Amino acid sequence: MPAPAIDLSGQVAIVTGSTSGIGQAMAEALAQAGSRVILNGLGDPAAIEATRARIAADYGVEVRYHPADMTKPAEIADMVDMARREFGRLDLLMPNAGVQHVAPVEAFPPEQWDKIIAVNLTSAFHAIRAAVPIMKAQKRGRIVNLASAHGLVASPFKSAYVASKHGVIGLTKTVALEVAESGVTCNAICPGYVKTPLVEGQIADQAKARNMSPEQVMRDVILAAQPTKRFVEFSELAGLLLYLASDMGASVNGAALSIDGGWTAA
């Protein structure tokens, strides 16, 4: 049986942290499948506008941008409401914005802990809280949290990040149980390493924390954890996201889906 092409025409998606890396690639994949998209994230306004206009032109869908800071609950609620205000619906929410800081726990700056928990975990709560009533009223919706292999296992020097991503999986499971009878699903995607600006920053931070060269960190730390010895590709993440977004994904609920080259199998 040939796999049906995934068509999200007429749908509306929000991807937080989509001005860079994984979020931008996932927003683009959703637009390519026909969904309208609301972008979000930090960055240079002119560069963000250029990205927004390019995605809209390349795929012929409406693309908007909301500047919500993921540490500000009222701004997050307004971002979700933008979908209702401007498009009258919200089909997919992808809480993806994330930050990282790498340091031994005894030297971990408390303000970095607070920021990582706020951006990586609490922002997902605020976005989901605002999105669920819209999705329940539609009797259909998809929440796809961008967690991490670090939602399932730990690595040293990443206390806040690992705690935040484990928290995202707990949030995912709880919401999944609450929405299960309403046509809404809530899942978490758990990638291994994907080469984005966030990982490039970690290579430098890990080199400092471990007193190693950046090359050693890449070979012996980052890809040491990933049995395939290569980074996860954006196209591989997009395939999983689009499957979850489609009707084929309707019975996948409350799952933490590993896409990590076998990292968490070890």
Residues in the site for ligand NAD, rule: CB under 6 A?
Answer: 17-23, 41-43, 69-71, 96-99, 119-120, 146, 148, 191, 193-194, 196-199
Q: What is the DSSP string of 150-197?
A: GGTS--TT-HHHHHHHHHHHHHHHHHHHHHTTTTEEEEEEEE----SH
Collapsing DSSP states into helix, strand and coil, what is residue 162?
Answer: helix
Residue among 59, 65, 161, 193 flagged as catalytic: 161
User: For ligand NAD, which is the closer residue by CB, 11 or 19?
Assistant: 19
Q: What is the DSSP string of 230-250?
A: SPPPHHHHHHHHHHHHSGGGT
Strands 36-40 and 12-15: parallel
Q: Where are the beta strands (DSSP E) in 33-177?
A: 36-40, 63-66, 92-94, 141-146
The single residue listed with the structure tokens 């390493």 is 193
In this structure, what DSSP letter does residue 150 have? G
User: For ligand NAD, which is the closer residue by CB, 198 or 252?
Assistant: 198
User: For ligand NAD, which is the closer residue by CB, 42 or 250?
Assistant: 42
- 162: tokens are 């690992």
CB of 60 to ligand NAD, least distance (A): 24
To which H or E segment does residue 256 belong? strand 256-259
> Is residue 161 annotated as a catalytic residue, yes or no?
yes
CB of 118 to ligand NAD, least distance (A): 8
User: For ligand NAD, which is the closer residue by CB, 8 or 194?
Assistant: 194
CB of 4 to ligand NAD, least distance (A): 28
CB of 39 to ligand NAD, least distance (A): 9
Known catalytic residues are 161
